A = this chain, B = another copy of it.
Amino acid sequence: MNAEKIPDIIIGRLPIYMRALQRMSEKGIQTTSSQELGERVGISAAQIRKDISQFGEFGKQGTGYHIPFLLDKLRSILKVDRVWDVALVGAGDMGHALARYQGFRDRGFQIVMVFDNDAQKVGEKVGDFIVQDMSSLAETIRKAGVKMAMLTVPAVAAQDVADELVKAGVKAILNYAPISLNVPPDVKVQHIDPASHLQRMTYYL
C-alpha cells in the first residue's frame, strides 16, 4: 500500500470514523456496521466501506466491524497508536483553552510546551505549563524533536512564527490564525477558523 496513493479527502474522513468508534467503544459497544456508523457520522455506508477498504479487509460480510480491531487499525494507519508531542505557540484566550483541553491525550496528542512573545505572559502558568519566551522557540523545539505545533498567535504574526517552526523542524501545524500560511511542501497545515465554518453554513440559510 503506497501512502501517497490514498486521496487526502479519505484521510480526512478517518478521524471522523475514529471519533465515532471511540465513542461507541466507551459506551461498551463492540461491533458496528457501515450503516450504523454512517448514521452516526452523516456519511453514506457505501462511502465508509469504500474508504476503509482502501487499507485492508477490516469488516466481515454479515457481522460488520469489530470496533476494538477497527480502532486499532485506524490508529495505526493515522499513526496515533502513540502520543505525539505538540508545541503550542500563543498564550492568549485560545491558547489557554487549548492548554487546558482534556481531549487530546486519548486521541494521540499532548501539548508539551507553550510559547508567547509577550513579556507579561512569559513565565505565567497556562494549564500545566510555564509560558516560554518565543526567542527560545526554535532551539527548544529542535532539541525536543517536536514535529507538531498549534498556532494561536494574531494573524499579523502567524507567518513569521510558522517560518520559525518550519526552521525548527516542525512538519505539521494546526493554524488558528485566520490567514493562509506559506510553508514548504513537506509541511502540513490544517486550519481552524470559526468564521470560515460559519460562512460555509450561511450559504444554506
Binding site for B on A (CB under 8 A): 3, 11-12, 14-16, 18-20, 23, 39-42, 77-80, 84, 86, 92-94, 96-98, 100-101, 103-104, 107-109, 147-148, 150, 155, 171-172, 174, 178-180, 182, 188-205
Contacts and interface: CB of A to CB of B under 8 A. Distances in A.
Q: How many copies of this chain sit in the oligomeric assembly?
A: 2
Contacts of A84: 198, 202, 205
10 contacts: A14-B200, A15-B200, A20-B180, A40-B180, A80-B199, A104-B195, A107-B199, A172-B198, A172-B202, A174-B198
Contacts of A42: 180, 189
B93 A100 contact: yes
Given A194-B104, A194-B150, A93 B97 contact: yes
